[in-house]
Amino acid sequence: MAIDAKLRKKLEGILAHVKRGANQGEIDNAARLLNKLLKKHGLTLADIDSEQTEQIRFKYKNRWEKRLLQQLHSKVVNHTRFVHYQEPNCKEIYFDLTQIQAIEMRRLYEFLRVKLAEELELAYQGLINAYDIFGASPKITKDTAEPDHDMARRILQRAAMIDGELPYLQIGE
């Protein structure tokens, strides 16, 4: 689809903010504006993507988020090998991505890093319960005496997935 040069320049500028925004708020605002303009003009990212790759920066907080980024890169570029660039002792990683790949990876990362934190907390709770790692028991009240059936169900579901069993168990329902 032929795009007016002025509109293309504007869209590419906004896309640059999506890829290299200074902070997450700037990235989110640019992405919303880009989606709005693309929809308004009946365009898609493919219409403005040049297929050229650039080094795109991603920040992470811990080794789990870094591993998640590496896994997402494999998914987005549909390849099992990945090339990344990283400065020593720096919590940033760079991948060679097209504009479309960068947006897809950034969106997946923002969603899945929250899910990763939830799953790690669940795994931690499972470890504490599995190995009975508790301190002195506080005074038991009605609130603390009630078992957390939802958490137990989720822990057992994850354990079944690890053991290759059915991904969803029906426990006490």
> E strands of the chain, at which residues?
54-59, 84-85, 92-97
Residue 104 maps to a domain: no
Residue 11 maps to a domain: yes
Domains: count for the chain: 1
pLDDT exceeds cutoff 60 at 12: yes
What distance in Å separates the CA atoms of residue 15 and residue 47, rounded to the nearest whole number?
12
Of 38, 106, 31, the C-alpha closest to 76 is: 106
What percent of the chain has pLDDT above 70?
79
pLDDT at residue 138, as a whole number: 58
Within 8 A by CB and 6+ apart from 37, the residues are 10, 11, 14, 43
Strands 84-85 and 92-97: antiparallel
What do you get for the CA distance between the two ends of the chain, in Å? 54
Residue 166 maps to a domain: no
Residue 58 maps to a domain: no
What distance in Å separates the CA atoms of residue 144 and residue 147, rounded to the nearest whole number?
8
pLDDT in tens, 31-74: 889 889 989 988 887 777 666 888 899 999 999 999 999 999 99
**Average model confidence (pLDDT) for the chain?**
79
pLDDT at residue 173, as a whole number: 38
Domain hosting residue 32, numbered range: 1-48
Residue 35 maps to a domain: yes
Residue 14 maps to a domain: yes
Residue 38 maps to a domain: yes
Residue 37 maps to a domain: yes
Whether this model's pTM surpasses 0.85: no
What are the strands of the beta sheet with 92-97, ordered from one edge? 54-59, 92-97, 84-85
3-state secondary structure 69-84: HHHHHHHHHCCCCCCE
